[in-house]
Structures are given as C-alpha cells and as structure tokens.
Chains A and B, each alone.
Chain A
Amino acid sequence: MNFLKPGKDNTEDRLNFVRYWAEYCRTHTDEDWSRQQNILINAMMHNAKTFPLSPKEYLKLKKEPCNR
C-alpha cells in the first residue's frame, strides 16, 4: 500500500486522504477498517445525545419548516 501523499492545498490534501483510505479499506478486512471508522461515528452518536437540538432549532438550521 502506498504512503499518504500530502496535498498542495486543503482540497487536494482531503482528496489524497479519501483515496488513501479507500485503498486501505480495499486491502484490509472489513473488521479492521470498520473498527477505526466506528470510533468516529459512535462519537458523533454520543455527541448527538449529549447536546440535543429541538426539532425547531435543528430545522431552522436546515431552513426547513417545522410544524411541531
């Protein structure tokens, strides 16, 4: 597997990481990459519970109507 290549700017840097991570997922077991990804996603789930937004607050941010 190739090393992660630094980008010239943020956009290129992000795309390089996306390609690197896709290659990692392609060449490693599902258990391996998912264990790493789960740290990120489970943390988001925890934060959503810890700092809840009301439907009104959330939909205002999304610029969507709320009839609750």
Chain B
Amino acid sequence: MQFVNPNKVLLEREMNELDKLVIDFISILKKHVDYVIISGYVSLLFGRSRTTEDVDVFIKELTDKHLAELYENLTEKGYWCINAEELQTISEYLNSGSAVRFAKINSTIPNFEVKFALKQLDLEAFKDFVVVETRLGQLKISSLERQIAYKRFYLKSPKDTEDAEFIENLFKDKLNKDKINKYKILLKSI
C-alpha cells in the first residue's frame, strides 16, 4: 500500500467477497448522502487477520424524503433493513441516535450498521477522513488516528485494542501522535 498523504492511501490488495459487498453498498449510499466508514472494517481493509459480521457507517442526517429515496434505491438493488420494514420505523431509529442494519435480502450477515452522525464528535469524522483507493473504487474511512484513539481509549475490548495495535504497527511512522492524544482527551471527556 502507498501512504500518499494523511488523507489518501492507495491499496493494491486483492478484494475479497466482503470488500466487494462494501463497494457495492457504498456505491448506492454515496449517491444519496455523505458517509464515512468507521471501526472494525477499517482494520480489515488494511489486512487485519480477523472477520466481522458488520460494517459500521456514519452518514449525515437525512430528511425523511431523502431517507425514503435512499431506502427505495437500496431495496431496488437487493438490500433490506433487518431491524424494520417500514420507513417510518427506520427513520425513528436513526433520528433517535440508534443504528439500523442493512444486509443483502434474505441474509443478515454481513450487514451494514448505519447511523446518523448526530453528535459533534461523530460529525468530525466527516472532516477528518482518509480516501482509500482500491482496485474496485474509492472508500472513505475515518482517519487512522481517530480509529486508534476510539478503539484504544473508548471501546477498549480485546478485539478493539488489537485493531488499534494493528493500525499503529502498520502505519507507525506515518501517524500523527498529537492527533491521537487530542482524540484521547476528547474521548475521556464523554
């Protein structure tokens, strides 16, 4: 992989079935709303040797009209929401800060855990992101420093600590340590 700059990485990996699904889902999503992929899938994209059942995605808040258009487009392309069928229920979940999960119709794993970025710290992921250029298209992920800080200082499970360790060791000389510390302080205050 080539670390072009703190906001761009070129990745020449062979894409697996999960990567292809992510590219497909994101190609639909990004027509309707700005997004950023966060958490576990980011580590997997760069090579972490584990699997995941879900891909976490922040999207910007949508009006009911725009959410309806997105939902209709996802449905047309073979996805369903596994939490609810009715648009109104999906909208209520998202607007209350809960995530909703989309998967290929008649399946549940893997799924996309989609959430409105409503809090200030969540919204900052849209300003601090990395574009990963893959063989099948671009993916927008939250910054590596943010990933590390969230996993190491907020989520803290063994799996999350290992994800943070992986990204730190992989990009060790490319990371902005001051930014990790900034996030660490912000996360300790919530």
Is B27 interfacial (CB 8 A cutoff)?
A: no
In the bound complex, do residue A64 and residue B83 qualify as a contact, i.e. CB atoms below 8 Å apart?
yes
**20 extra A-B contacts, CB within 8 A, seeds A14-B162, A18-B48, A41-B18:** A11-B158, A15-B161, A18-B165, A21-B166, A22-B165, A23-B169, A25-B46, A25-B170, A30-B1, A37-B16, A40-B49, A40-B50, A41-B17, A42-B16, A48-B53, A52-B108, A54-B108, A55-B82, A67-B85, A67-B89
Query: Which residues does chain A contribute within 8 Å of B169, judged by CB atoms?
Result: 18-19, 22-23, 26
Report which A residues bind B (CB closer than 8 A): 11, 14-15, 17-19, 21-23, 25-26, 29-31, 33-38, 40-42, 44-45, 48-49, 52-55, 57-59, 64-68
Minimum CB distance partner of B106 in chain A: A52
List 19 A-B residue pairs with CB atoms under 8 Å apart, sorted by A's residue number. Answer: A15-B165, A17-B49, A18-B166, A19-B169, A23-B169, A25-B47, A30-B12, A30-B13, A36-B49, A37-B16, A40-B51, A41-B16, A41-B44, A42-B16, A48-B109, A52-B109, A53-B108, A58-B109, A67-B89
Interface string of B156-175 (1 = CB under 8 A from A): 00100110011111100000
Instruction: Tell me the nearest residue of chain B to A46, going by C-beta.
Output: B17
For the complex formed, measure the closest distance between the CB of A8 and the CB atoms of chain B, giving whole angstroms. 16
Size band of the B side of the interface? 35 or more
Alpha-carbon gap, A35 to B15, bound state (A): 9
Report the nearest A residue to B162, measured CB to CB: A18
Contact of B107 among A26, A31, A41, A49 (CB under 8 A): A49
Near A by CB (< 8 A), chain B positions 46-95 give: 46-51, 53, 82-86, 89
Number of A-B residue pairs, CB cutoff 8 Å, is 113
Interface class of chain A by DSSP: helix
Contact at A26–B16, with CB atoms within 8 Å? no
Binding site for A on B (CB under 8 A): 1, 11-18, 21, 44, 46-51, 53, 82-86, 89, 101, 106-110, 158, 161-162, 165-170
When chains A and B are docked, how far (Å) is the Cα of A28 from the Cα of B106?
Answer: 38
Q: Which 3 A-B pairs have the closest CB atoms?
A: A22-B169, A34-B13, A55-B82
Q: A45 to chain B: closest CB distance in Å?
A: 4
Q: Is the CB of B18 within 8 A of A31?
A: no
Give chain A residues whose Cβ lies under 8 Å from the Cβ of B165.
15, 18-19, 22
Chain B residues with CB under 8 A of A30: 1, 11-14
